[in-house]
Amino acid sequence: MAEVIPHSFFTDFDINLFKAGKHYRLYEKFGSHITTVDGIEGVYFAVWAPSAKMVSVVGDFNYWVEGEHKLNVRWDSSGIWEGFIPGAGKGSIYKYKIQSNHNDIKTEKADPYARRSEHNPKTASIVWEDDYNWKDSKWMKKRKKHNALDAPFSVYEVHLGSWKRKKDNSFLSYEDLADELVAYVKDMNFTHVELMPIMEFPYDPSWGYQLTGYFAPTSRFGDPEDFKLLVDKLHQNDIGILLDWVPSHFPEDAHGLGFFDGSALYEHPDPKKGYHQDWKSLIFNYGRNEVKSFLISNAIFWLDQFHADGLRVDAVASMLFLDYSREDGEWEPNMFGGRENLEAMSFLREMNEAVYSAFPDVQTIAEESTAFPMVSRPTSLGGLGFGMKWMMGWMHDTLQYFGKEPVYRKHHQNDLTFSMTYAFTENFMLPLSHDEVVYGKRSILGRMPGDEWQRFANLRLLYSYMFTHPGGNLLFQGGEFGQSEEWNFENSLDWHLLQYEPHKGVKELIKDLNALYKSEPALYEKQFSSEGFEWIDYNDAENSVFTYVRKGIDDKDNLVIACNMTPMPRENYKLGLSRKGKLKEIFNSDFKKYFGSGNYKNSLKTTKSDPWHFRDHSIEIDIPPLGMVVFKYNAQSKPKTSTKKRK
């Protein structure tokens, strides 16, 4: 039997923190670490398996022989097995062979803390450390400004495996994406990219939401250094990166976290709390301190080691409610008789506190689909502590409205106005995400009614309305050029569509909307405050016209916006304004370069002292069919300037 030299990275303080659920950098201790002991080079291994009778490391360095390298269990009842194996090194392939105290059950597991994994369908872990030389110091020093809640957040959601593929339908590498994706996102003026899960996962149809390698970037596109290069290039081009993160559930794959040491270790032992029936997956035990440390350490890991600018936390609603997708009798109330998962709530609060304490210049964003209160409010006020929350209600109501024939829209005015009754109860991000273009829902373009011209006009109007509605924005890949078909994770986007004018027009529109959003403070400075929005008129259902003002810190930045939701142009449409002056049209979704008619441009408008809409002044404008126009007071006007300083 080969010798395993006793060695430990853990101090007593580490063990106490781990047991208390307060160790947030476990990746520095657990896993495999290249090191030198007594002048001998090798690898230190450490794994948590409290129900194990024996743990050995099997790998290519010992011909996968069980028991050849047995780890030593710590004396302190922490359940940690560890040891130093001479001769192993970077690139060594391994798993843990675990014999359980429970009926001598044996499991063979990948390392939960591995930094690199084999390419699927292989499932072993790889010893890995890198010395990547980051070049994004300029971004890191100033990213607090870019990631602030009063900064523009226009997010491009990307699935790396299907954004674009090579001619033989193979994946682009992280290095390829560092060139092509970064250049594209920069040209399109998005402020951030959000990547669907890039942590290692075994099953492509899960899109990455069934994770087995929480600390390893997927090997599908390259090694960890290559992924760092992609992040680095984004930052060098002033583009932030958000990562989808899945602390809600994990798959039952034999090499994964499930039944890890022959017991319910990471998952809750009660199936009513530990098994997700819809996804056939296991649910973390949020009440177990060591599991909390694992998950929070994982969140910190991606922000620390990979310079991520934030985490979009998946399926938060499934975590918050004990009866989520369960019938009566399939769940049990909490200690107070309620349906809330108190342990999950506590975990989310602690996770957000840990993240913002260590990285005050990032954001956490909740995908939470219910009316659960105060998701994006501070924990000190009783909130969950997220920076933002996806506005799922807006998404549902808006897509439902735009899917209707324009002749019926006058009966559904409230579908669009309703969002403003709750828009400022949270810091909302408006998502048109991947979930809205799969499973028979059709593409966003495919939902639009009318002939070809009207369908594209509707799509441009939807996007224009979205970008001028309070909140941040998220658009899934392909939506920016009017992808015709539903998203297919197995193929590239239909880039050939850009040879056609309608699709090219949508792409130009998104590019200009992003530029407008980034350049006009009224669209982002108060995007999460009721002070940043004012209706002019939301009652003109007969004409299906909506008019409103977006406000910045300084009145001179205010924008006047009018949307016409029908194919009938509204000429000489009277609009009431609180201020007199000259207004210049700065955006029109009907421009010819967007595949619009180009027939309804507005010249410089001067207000008249003619009261309208309960305001002292008014102008008359032309609103194009299925179009939106944006006006800004001309610099020659002299607005009342706020005394507040812009941050």
> Hey, what are 8's tokens?
């430990």
DSSP 581-603: SEEEEEEETT-GGGTS-------
What positions carry a catalytic annotation?
314, 367
CA angle 57, 61, 67 (to 5 degrees): 35
Q: State how far the Cα of 65 lies from the Cα of 615, in Å rounded to an integer.
A: 83
Closest C-alpha among 322, 428, 309 to residue 376: 428
Q: How far apart are the first and last CA of the chain?
A: 65
3-state secondary structure 344-395: HHHHHHHHHHHHHHHCCCCEEEECCCCCCCCCCCCHHHCCCCCCEEECHHHH
Q: State how far the Cα of 111 lies from the Cα of 46, in Å rounded to an integer.
A: 9
DSSP 446: G
Helix (H) or strand (E) holding 535: strand 533-537
What percent of the chain is helix, strand and coil (3-state, nearest 5)? 30, 25, 45
* C-alpha separations of 629 from 65, 350, 563 in Å: 71, 44, 7
Closest C-alpha among 68, 73, 75, 82 to residue 101: 73
> Hey, what are 249's tokens?
């559930």
Closest C-alpha among 410, 389, 487 to residue 445: 487
Q: State how far the Cα of 322 lies from the Cα of 341, in Å rounded to an integer.
A: 5
- How far is C-alpha 517 from the geometric centre of its chain's CA atoms? 19
Three-state secondary structure call for residue 434: helix
Q: State how far the Cα of 52 lies from the Cα of 65, in Å rounded to an integer.
A: 18
Q: State how far the Cα of 358 lies from the Cα of 372, in Å rounded to an integer.
A: 26
Pairing state between β 310-313 and 240-245:
parallel
> Hey, what are 446's tokens?
């495919």
> Hey, what are 495's tokens?
């880039």
Beta strands in 369-504 (DSSP E): 388-390, 428-432, 472-476
Q: Which residues contact 380 (CB under 8 A, 6 or more apart)?
A: none
Overall size of the chain counted in residues? 647
Count helices and strands in the chain by DSSP H and E runs: 12, 29
